Amino acid sequence: MSLISAFTSSEALVLNAPAPNFDLFDHSGVRHTLEDYRGSWLVLYFYPKDNTPSCTAEACALRDNYTPLQQEQTQILGVSIGSEGSHQRFAQRHQLPFPLLIDDGDLARRYHALFQLGPIKLAKRHSFIIDPAGRLRKIYRKVTSRSHAQQLLIDIKVLKSG
């Protein structure tokens, strides 16, 4: 058995198809579902671990671009496999204005964003733009932590303009 295992689903993610649904709690104990975001654009971003350098850089870049993204009617949800306490400390330490969802690995698996190192499950650094109708409009499998927020903003504007 390999030390590193990739998790896949039998259903491929397809652009313009319905995004996989979710029903998860965030770091403040608030429940979130995909349906809650109908009518808004949504950035669902997966990240490996709270308070690591690249994850912190990505979260802070999204924080710094939060207002411009909201001006584009776009919400942000971070998703990682970790505890409520870890997510709370991460969000507080970096003053993150968006929810961090607590995943046991199931959502990351459905978005093809899960890998395992021995007994440890981690989310891959992948992001998704979901439109107001709940369809996948953009999939990012290679994310540069510091510049990703700017790319998301550009791509959302392009997607909105048709």
CB of 149 closer than 8 Å to CB of 155:
no
Which of these is catalytic: 19, 24, 42, 55? 55
60 is catalytic: no
- Residue 26's closest CA among 93, 76, 68? 76
Phi/psi of residue 22, nearest 5 degrees = -145, 155
Tokens 């198809």 locate to: 17
Which residues does the annotation mark as catalytic? Answer: 55
